[in-house]
Structure 1
Amino acid sequence: MMRSAAMDSFRKRLLFFYFGSGQFRYGIAEVFRHVLNGLDKQRYDLFLVITGTLNESVDNLSADVTVIELGHEGLKKSFLPLVKAIRRIRPDLVVSAMVHPNVLAALARLVSRYDCKLVLTVHSVITPQLENMWSEKQGRMIRKAVQLTYPSADHLVYVSRAVKEDFEKYFSRLPGVSVIHNPVLKESALPEPDFTVKEPGLIAVSSRLTGYKKIDEAISALQFLEERYHLVVMGDGPERGRLEALVAELDLDERVEFTGYVDDPFAWYRKAEIFVLPSVWEGFGNVLIESMACGCQVVANASAWAPPEVLGYGEYGFLYEGGQPEALASAIKKAATEPKPKEKLLRYAQRFTDKRVAREYEQLFDSLVGSPRMNSSESQ
């Protein structure tokens, strides 16, 4: 269908601001990609503004999204280019994600003196970052920056109730808020589980190999499981050497495989019987839905903030008390011997698609900038 100038005049301009360079993958990039793909292109003009420079095209992003690379490393150098981008694009609404980019986006809108709405999205629980990732000085500076800038936004979106409750322990005077769970799957290309290829006893984990992801807990749990259980570890990171040493120390070399980074974790999800997320904290936990959509039974740390919420507090998965490898082993056994109904899990996973979640964002955007309306002659 040809789009007329009249139709264009009713369309709203949305600018998504992303802090990154090199590749547009993982984490926030995946969330933005799914939302951008799911939004109605007949109603919105979509712009993705990236602080750095990409070394490859954005994979599987709708051709209707205009990608703008600011070409600067770091947020400070990106500030004035973002101000100029806002003035040039003249968006009806700006969407940003994560603390530092959110602060920059709020300041850039102010300096641009352009009257547009601002939606800040919050993806991480802040307590463990204050306790484990940021120095005391950094924590004070971040809290002050949030207190000064977030109240100027028009709306906050939390990716889980756990993130909302944790964030609001520290900050007041916030604007209107919503909880919108992450889009994880592409509605037009949902995984097709084949339960005939499932390998009994195969446990999968997938994450960057860093301390708070607690992959060592999944390895240690194998000591309390029969030899038929074996573990595949997808991902790489600074903890890999220590984890490989732990495998050798526990004499588990024949039962643990390190794949390194894999382009297609879904290939392993299709084969695995059980997926485990032992992470100490998660703002959401996309891998829970990804693996579930491939027919895995899922097990997660009950103290990791969002995972219990994502798993319906045990209705769609198995929870255990984190920090106890034996408790994890017990949950894995239960997942294998008393599995959740497969069809129930597949239906649940399909709630987290790009189209479904984009409809929630559209309702929010329309409440802030108005809903584009076209008469029948303009829509033909």
Structure 2
Amino acid sequence: MRIAILTTKLSGGGAEFVARVWAEWLAAHGHDTRIITTSPTDETRLPGGARVRPLGATGHARLVRALRRELIREPADALVAVQSYPNLLALAATVRLANRPAVLISERNITSREGEPPTRGERLKLLAAQRFYRRADVVVAISHPVAAELIGAYGVLRSRLVIVPNPAGQRSEVRARHRQQPSPFDPEAPLNLVLPMRLVPQKRAPLAVAAAAILRAQGVDARLVCFGQGPGLDELEQAARAAEVPLSIPGWTSDWVADTPANAIAVLPSYREGFGNVLVEAALGGIPSVAVSNSYGVADALVPTISGELALAGTPEDLAAAILRARSASIGRVDEWARRFSSDNSGALLLRAIEKATRRTSRTGPRPRPTVMVSAVGQFDNVGDTVLRRGFLDHLRTLGPLRVYVGDKSDDYISGLGLQQGDIAVRNGAQWRRAVSRQLLAGRGIYAFDTGETEAQAPFARRYLKLAPLLAINRLRGGFAVQLGTGVRESTPWRRPIAAVLRVCTMVTWRDDMSRRIMGIGSVTPDWAFALGSDDELLTDDARPRPFLAIAVRQGLSHAARDKPTAEWIATVRRLADTLGLEPVVLAQIERDGPLADELAERLGCTAITWVDDNHARQEERLRSVYRDSAIILTDRLHAAVIGATEGAVPVALTTGPLDKVTRTLEGANIVGTSVPRALPSYDEALSVMTDALSRRSEIMRAVGHARTVLNDLTAALRTRTHG
């Protein structure tokens, strides 16, 4: 079984020790085990063969993403988290994760605090645990009191709760098999009260000083030996000096039992313990111990009159009385009882808990793929608008079932979108808005803004701002929103509110660098129309005959006037075609370009390919069939250039300047140096650019192939972010 154990680090405390022992045991028993740490470590492999993988990130969000990437990079059958913070990381990182492992969380302590005001971070962690612990497949408790708190305070179902004893005896197991019965206490020798613990408020170390002072007043030479460090060290030393109690501080060691002097009793005066590893370690080492009866988990780790004594309450007098009882009692052998806390027993019980969790996840089955909601509304007579959206939809479909808003577009327009069985087309605007609101408020699925061209103008900004609250709620609840491969015409002050809304999105990309610089957010990826077209074999076939010079020119409109090509322009194009040995052919990329295409074809003495009906799919195929036989596509239509390039024609842009959208979008796909002024004022300049572009045909076709790779990588990255 592939098992990952998540912990903060490999040493420094009881929980870290347990995580390490579990990992070593599982690896030694044939499981593919790795231990993932949130802190840096130089170790790469543990003695049992378990691998070590530090996440290499800081900050809560980065750690969640790093853990998610780790589980995607190397899937696991089960993820076992040890301690509160790793528990929350594990639950957050596996939300909507494809191939999600069974998630087991392990709580090690009692969270109820007396006299210890929690910090803000601790309060937030507690609130998160109360909300999310119940989502784990199995919850592992260290002791019965911890289990009771998990049920009562966290709402964990009893059916998902198991108690796995700590492998607390692992460090003493070998020595315990060879030790003799503990020797009787020597009443003439000093009584060493051992404090094997971290010096923090919950441990109440000064209480042991007060108990020792009482014993000394009764004629017992009680002395303190502290195997620990922590923020309470100064307080302990001051208390010992004030009470005139001898105190030595060897500090924490890997095996404090071996370093304990003779005539010793382990004292644990804590007011709360999830378990009390040191009590079991002491018993296995033949050292009696004393703890406070009302400190929760110690009742699982100490057997009164057998391995030690329980003080009635947490007062110096009660603690001193328990110490005297422990010194005078005949502490019995504990080997059979302590076997419960062996690494073998703890590891075997953990494995059973893992198997229980994996059975549960196998019953629930794989999670359904998230629904992708996307708008695909473009110009009714523009093949380029349906081509780029079809490329976008084809990639989104790999993430989940599509629900596509098409509005009032005709079936002829929709034919170009390439909708497939299972896709749901939505025409009613009110119905679409309700569906979007429901999905975003629920934090389910993926919302994709329309691709293509957008404008930083007031109507567009208002549309983004209306969505902003829904997008924020969607992100907080674990949903996803993207805007990918969009272009912006020009910079206006309205870009600022649009950019602010886009910061809530999971991923934002632009089809050209100018758009990215205008908006100040996201990265650059090629236009989605590059995703379609002929395969690389056809694109790189230099032996394929390409007799045509394809020409596609924009028709001027009342709101976007364009000068009609002059006689000089016609003569230059005719001369270029003759010089290059190509036959011109004029195409109408958009239906409204048809009259101009017919006119130019007549003036050039060549054929025009215009629309025979309104069907986008049929017109697209007519255009592509010409581009597949063209050496060059000369155009001021962006998607004539892109579609032509994806069929093997070298794109040469007729531009109005360096910031023309055709030029900058081609550059977004690393196709550079293929633009000429739209008016073609210089035959020599145009011929030089076209000749150079043809000589670089292989380079340009490689750029087309690379653009497709970038788009595939973008989709894979989005899949990783959304559901692995």
In structure 2, the partner of 1:375 is none
Contact 2:146 2:274 in 1 (8 A): yes
* Change beyond 3 A, Cα 1:133–1:77: farther
**Which deviates more, 81-90 or 261-270?**
261-270
> Amino acid of the residue matched to residue 242 of structure 1?
E
Q: In the TM superposition, what is the alpha-carbon distance from 1:196 to its structure 2 partner?
A: 6.0
| Structure with the greater alpha carbon radius of gyration | 2
**Residue aligning to 1:276:** 267
Which residue identity does 2:193 align to in structure 1? I
Q: 1:15 offset after TM fit, Å?
A: 0.7
Distance 1:24 1:231, change over 3 A: closer
Q: Which moved more, 1:361-370 or 1:157-166?
A: 361-370
What is the identity, as a one-letter code, of the residue corresponding to 1:354? S
The one-letter amino acid of 2:153's match is Y
Residues 317-371 of structure 1 deviation map (CA, whole Å, 9 limit, x = unaligned): 2001343111111111111112322x2x24322331111111111222223336x
8 A Cα contact 2:268 2:291, kept in partner: yes
Identical positions, percent: 23
Q: Does 1:310 align with 2:295?
A: no
What is the Cα deviation at residue 139 of structure 1? 5.9
159-168 or 347-356, which moves further after superposition? 347-356
Q: How many pairs were matched up?
A: 349
Aligned position for 1:51: 38
Contact 1:308/1:314 (<8 A) preserved: no
Spell out the pairing of 1:109-120 with structure 2 (5 A cutoff).
109-120=94-105
Matched, 1:216 2:209: no
* 8 Å contact from structure 1 (residues 233, 258) kept in 2: yes
- Give the direction of change, closer, same or farther, for the CA distance of 1:227–1:292 in structure 2 (3 Å limit): same
Preserved CA contact (<8 Å) 1:52 1:69: yes
The structural deviation recorded for 1:37 is 2.2
1:167 aligns with 2:141: no
Residues 90 and 114, structure 1, Cα contact 8 Å, conserved in 2: yes
- Unaligned stretches of 5+ residues in structure 2: 360-724
Q: Helix, strand or coil for the counterpart of 1:183?
A: coil
- Stretch moving more, 326-335 or 170-179: 170-179
2:242 is aligned to 249
Q: Give per-residue Cα distances to partners, 1:256-279, cap 9 Å, x unaligned.
A: 222233343122346353111101
AA aligned to 2:169 is L
2:61 is equivalent to residue 71 of structure 1: no
Equivalent residue runs for 1:355-374 within 5 Å = 355-369=344-358
Matches within 5 A, 1:5-84: 12-20=1-9, 24-39=11-26, 41-55=28-42, 61-84=46-69
* Equivalent in the alignment of 1:155: 138
**Contact 1:293 1:350 (C-alpha < 8 Å) held by counterparts:** no
The amino acid that maps onto 2:320 is: A
Amino acid at match of 1:98: Q
CA–CA separation in structure 2 for the residues paired with 1:340 and 1:42 = 35
Measure, in 1, the Cα distance between the counterparts of 2:225 and 2:24: 31
Alpha-carbon distance in structure 2 between the residues aligned to 1:336 and 1:198? 6
Distance, in Å, in 2 between the alignment partners of 1:328 and 1:203 is 11
C-alpha distance in 1, partners of 2:60/2:121? 16
What is the RMSD computed on CA atoms of the aligned residues?
A: 2.5
Greater Cα shift, 205-214 or 139-148: 139-148
CA-CA distance at 1:19 after TM superposition = 2.0
In 1, the alpha carbon distance for the partners of 2:317 and 2:127 equals 41
Cα distance in 2, alignment partners of residues 156 and 281 from structure 1: 20
The answer (yes or no) to whether the contact 1:230–1:256 under 8 Å persists in 2 is: yes
SS at match of 1:224: helix
Superposed CA deviations along residues 225-271 of structure 1, whole A, max 9, x for unmatched, are 2333322111112222222122121122xx32222333431223463
- Equivalent pair of 2:194/2:226 in contact (CA under 8 Å): yes
Contact 2:265 2:289 in 1 (8 A): yes
Cα deviation, residue 308, structure 1 = 1.9
What CA deviation, in whole Å up to 9, does each residue of 1:36-83 have, x standing for no partner?
22226454110111112115677xx33420111112234432111100
Match of 1:181 in 2: 165
Is the 1:206–1:233 contact (alpha carbons within 8 Å) kept by the matching residues of 2?
yes
Give me the whole-angstrom Cα distance separating, in 2, the residues matched to 1:45 and 1:70.
Answer: 18
**Is the contact made by 1:18 and 1:48 (CA closer than 8 Å) also made in structure 2?**
yes
Matches within 5 A, 1:94-243: 94-128=79-113, 132-135=116-119, 138=121, 141-172=124-155, 174=157, 176-186=160-170, 189-191=174-176, 192-193=178-179, 195=182, 200=189, 201-225=191-215, 226-243=219-236
Structure 1 counterpart of 2:137, which letter? D
In the alignment, residue 285 of structure 1 is paired with which amino acid? G
Classify 1:248/1:368 alpha carbon distance in 2 versus 1 (closer, same or farther; 3 Å): closer
Could you tell me how far 1:219 is from its partner in structure 2? 1.1
Task: For residue 206 of structure 1, report the CA deviation from its aligned partner.
Answer: 1.1
3-state DSSP of counterpart to 2:88: helix
Superposition deviation, residue 217 in structure 1: 1.0
Residues 1:151 and 1:243: Cα distance change in structure 2 (over 3 Å)? closer
1:304 CA drift (Å) = 0.8
SS in 2 for 1:248: helix
Q: Secondary structure at the match of 1:48?
A: strand
Structure-2 separation of matches of 1:99 and 1:93? 18
Distance in 2 between the 1:153 and 1:133 partners?
A: 28
Does the 8 Å contact 1:270/1:294 carry over to 2? Answer: no
User: Whose relative contact order is higher, 1 or 2, with alpha carbons under 8 Å and at least 6 apart?
Assistant: 1
Q: Deviations over 1:262-300 (max 9, x none)?
A: 343122346353111101111010000111111011110
Q: What secondary structure is seen at the aligned counterpart in 2 of 1:350?
A: helix
Q: Secondary structure at the match of 1:82?
A: helix
TM-score of the pair, normalised by structure 1: 0.83
Aligned-partner SS, 1:271: coil
- Using the TM superposition, give the Cα deviation of residue 143 of structure 1 relative to its aligned residue in structure 2, in angstroms: 4.1
* Structure 2 CA distance for aligned equivalents of residues 171 and 188 of structure 1: 35
